[in-house]
Structure 1
Amino acid sequence: MFKRILVPLDGSARAEQALPLAAHIARTYNSAIILTRIVDVFETVGASSIQAAALTNEIREIQEKEAREYLQRIYGARELERLDTAIEVHSGDVATTLLEMITRESIDLVVMTSHGYTGYKQWMLGSVAQKMVHDSIAPVLIQRENYALPCGTASGDLKFCVALDGSELAERVLRPALYVAAACGNVRQREVHLLRIVKAMEAERVEIFRRIHKLDIQQFLYNEATSYLKELGERLNKEAAAQLGVRVTWSVIMGSDIARAIIHEVEGEAPVMQGPFPYALLALATHGRSGIARWAAGSVAERILNNTKLPLLVVHPPKKM
């Protein structure tokens, strides 16, 4: 499904850590890769200086020339050999320009690191990666410096987690997650685990519902979530996942804090420097059952994006008309 893959670079070695992953996926699916670097002149010189404004065109030309020379060097990298690769240099606001490229050039996947030349907070908590995740019409695959998503012979027993909430919108992440798992994992060692968190209710509310409606609402919700994942998982194992050689499993967990429960499940108890996490990647949609206002504005997806150490595959489903 990934015909055109966009790799944004900023000139740093950190940002270039997205290249091996993007190249491996491209080689698997015979995809084209577009390497891009965006020149933001106003970020460099400031918009308030009259003297700087007079030199804007000259500065832009110098930076674009440097960016093109840099991308030409990357173009010749060994991992990109025999791949259909193009380079593009643009000027403007980085996030806005990237989003325009995704639409204009029919990009199917964006592969980028969670931070680059300007550091972790600028990329992940600041403007660029955050806007990409929230507004990109293409799936965004975020590579990590300290816990990179392995691929090919280095992948070993690869296990992805897909967080779902029971909605069709959240399920939009399934197809790209299966394809990334199929590309990165070794044969017979690719697992995509479907996870759903059932929010734990206060005991008093559960008891009131039992008294009035003669129903254990907490158990009902747990059973409903289990049936949903079982049916979905079995269908995937017979159809899409089976065709890609990916095994689908599932589980339901109770938790009072959905975001925290998801992060705890995928990262486990071990500190990052003392061993691998239970999962190699977390995949999720930026909004689902509770609507874009809840998911994208900070309730669940926002907290996960800003706090997990895992590589992420994020899909921003379009609004229903």
Structure 2
Amino acid sequence: MKILVPLDGSELAEGMLVPAKKLLEASDSPGELLLVHVLDPHPEAAVRDGGEHYLETVRGRLEREGLAGAEVRWFLEGGDPAERILVIAKEQGPDWIVMATHGGSPERAVRGSVAERVLRSANQPLLLANPRGSWAAKTRAFERILIAHDGSPFADLVLRPAIQIAQAFASQATLLRAFPDEVEPDGLSVAVERLREAGVEVEPHVVQGEAAGEILAAATGHDLVCLATHGRSGLARWWFGSVAERVLRACDRPLVVVRPSS
């Protein structure tokens, strides 16, 4: 397994190394941890030296703590953070991108943020945490995870990363299906079976209501929320107003968000 973690020197960003390490430790084979630090375009030599020292310090600490044989590599870039993260992701092909969002208000926590821009184009699952979920950022103990599923083939995309999280953290899962109509949709038996075959303890929950609102209501009893979005590459407006955006803007839990590859 290969995991990319963008770092900006903040405590929250470095806190994302904890779940990244757990995912690597649960992998069947030795993996790679890719650290990315982005400076302003054309940084002075002293600034670049400082960036290299920072990344070497983080790498040294990780290696002293032990990574179950995983290799740590770092990339020091200059330019637009989202663009450079996406370039490294395309070149290196990680299985996950694990990163923090830094928005202060719910409105600004997502829209226009580096994390949102990465999410719009990345082909990997993203594990995201924001400052409002700082309690989880410190512990990363995902004992109970909520998996949102709307019954579409796109929603099945979230099952594999959700299984990886559940196996790494020994998590119990709730599989949530929210439907707005009076007629209850087909159940979640296929998804439930897939999760249980992977050894995940899961309970299905089907409720009538608007999807984003029901996900947010259920999130309060969980440590992590997993969902897929229907957005495709090249459609600039797919994200705004979507269930995923509304959940990420309002949710104070870390999230796993997956979008279809182009």
Give the TM-score range, shorter chain. Answer: 0.7 to 0.9
Alignment root-mean-square deviation, CA? 2.2
> Matched residues in 2 for 1:109 and 1:23: separation?
12
Letter in 2 for 1:166: G
Counterpart residue number, 1:90: 77
Counterpart residue number, 1:204: none
> Matched residues in 1 for 2:91 and 2:3: separation?
13
| Pair 1:285 & 2:238 matched | no
Letter in 1 for 2:57: R
* Identity fraction in percent: 34
Counterpart residue number, 2:125: 139
Query: Runs of at least 4 residues of structure 1 off by over 6 A?
Result: none
| Pair 1:63 & 2:47 matched | yes
Counterpart residue number, 2:5: 7
**Deviation of 1:6 (Å):** 0.4
**Deviation of 1:263 (Å):** 0.2
**5+ unaligned residues in a row in structure 1: which ranges?**
42-56, 201-217, 268-277
Query: Judging changes above 3 Å, is the alpha-carbon distance between structure 1 residues 127 and 61 closer, same or farther for their aligned structure 2 residues?
Result: farther
| Pair 1:254 & 2:197 matched | no
> Matched residues in 2 for 1:174 and 1:318: separation?
15
**Deviation of 1:235 (Å):** 4.1
Decide which of 89, 110, 115 is 2:97's aligned counterpart: 110
Q: What secondary structure does 2:16 align onto? A: helix
**Deviation of 1:64 (Å):** 2.0
> Matched residues in 2 for 1:172 and 1:12: separation?
31
Q: Note the 1:96-175 alignment, pairs <5 A.
A: 96-115=83-102, 120=104, 124-145=110-131, 146-148=134-136, 150-151=139-140, 158-175=143-160
Letter in 2 for 1:135: S
Query: Judging changes above 3 Å, is the alpha-carbon distance between structure 1 residues 62 and 125 closer, same or farther for their aligned structure 2 residues?
Result: farther
> Matched residues in 1 for 2:26 and 2:3: separation?
12
Taking structure 1 as the reference length, the TM-score comes to: 0.71
Q: What secondary structure does 1:10 align onto? A: coil
Query: Judging changes above 3 Å, is the alpha-carbon distance between structure 1 residues 317 and 79 closer, same or farther for their aligned structure 2 residues?
Result: farther
Taking structure 2 as the reference length, the TM-score comes to: 0.86
| Pair 1:296 & 2:239 matched | yes
Q: Note the 1:4-43 alignment, pairs <5 A.
A: 4-29=2-27, 30-41=30-41
> Matched residues in 1 for 2:56 and 2:165: separation?
27
Number of residue equivalences:
249
